[in-house]
Amino acid sequence: MGSSEFSWSVSRHDAFARCRRRYFYSYYAANEDPEIQRLKKLSALPMWAGSVVHETIEAVLKTRDALPSPDEQEALIRAAVHGQMLTDWRESEAGSLRFRLFEHEYQVAVEPDDKKILVGTVMRSLRNFFKSPILGEAFAAGRVVIVDWKTGRGEGKFSEVQVAGYALYAAEQGWAAPEEIQTELAYLAIPRYVRRSIDRRKLDHLRSFVAKSAKNMRALLLDPLANLARREDFPMIDRPQACRRCNFRRLCFPRADEAAVAAASAPLPA
């Protein structure tokens, strides 16, 4: 199986590092099999919260040229929670092709408290977004700052690489010289803001990181030039806890074996 051309991204690097078989399904099999593409699009609860926040932020930045009033801010937050999230949930329960939660697909119970926590994360993140110092800078547009808005509390393993990649793109597009670009990881749920400067040394290091990562990915291909891959060249991992939360669990462990996967990854009794 192959895709039109090979391209690198942090999410692709992360998938490759986590599980080669998952990587194969995501970046090769999903391009040719509609059912695998559907499984790839499944969204777990934390990812869903992040998507709702990011889509609201994107809409604000694209349609506004000034900070919304407090009443407008609350209206936008209510629309995200009571409009988009409610619609998404109902569509997922109904088996929609547009949006489907991992928890509904694999019949994972979602407790009422889990829903409250999720809604609270979205509301708190958006309120902190409207209060964040970077938003005023964005409307002022005085300089180039690459911001990655996060709804999680911990720093992702490749967060710094990802935001540096955005800075590299900005520099190569000629938006600004590397020394004129700053990056910021904005952890909205806390809130906490981590800002760093960019220079040519950091960008050179990133280029080397990307080149090495891409070389490792292409080494497993049947035909690197044509970007062709075979499933058997991408082995499964032996980590039941990770497999239990994988979108492609059904492909690696058919329904008859799913109970064994769940049991193997369940916590030991006290």
Q: What is the mean pLDDT of residues 81-97?
A: 96
Q: What is the mean pLDDT of residues 181-188?
A: 95
Which of 6-10, 120-124, 228-232, 255-259 comes out lowest in average pLDDT? 255-259
Asked whether the beta carbons of 265 and 241 are under 8 A apart, the reply is yes
Structure tokens given for 197: 């400067």
Q: Is residue 111 part of a domain?
A: no
Q: Is residue 191 part of a domain?
A: yes
DSSP 3-state of 260: helix
Condensed to tens digits (0 to 9), the pLDDT of residues 68-80 reads 999 999 999 999 9
Output the pLDDT for position 268: 41
DSSP 3-state of 182: strand
Strand partners, 184: 147, 195
Q: Is residue 185 part of a domain?
A: yes
What's the number of domains the chain is made of? 1
Q: Is residue 63 part of a domain?
A: no
pLDDT tier, 217 (very low <50, low <70, confident <90, very high otherwise): very high
Residue 231 pLDDT more than 50? yes
Output the pLDDT for position 190: 93
Output the pLDDT for position 104: 97
Output the pLDDT for position 3: 60
Evaluated on CA atoms 32, 217, 45, 244, the torsion sign reads positive
Output the pLDDT for position 150: 94
pTM for this model (two decimals): 0.87
Q: Is residue 4 part of a domain?
A: no
pLDDT exceeding 90 applies to what percent of the chain? 83
Backbone φ, ψ for residue 15 (5° rounding): -60, -40
Q: Is residue 188 part of a domain?
A: yes
Distance CA 237, CA 60 (A): 41
Q: Which residues span the domain enclosing 216?
A: 142-220
Output the pLDDT for position 270: 40
DSSP 192: E
Q: Is residue 235 part of a domain?
A: no
CA dihedral 107, 252, 244, 40 (to 10 degrees): -70
Mean pLDDT of the chain: 91
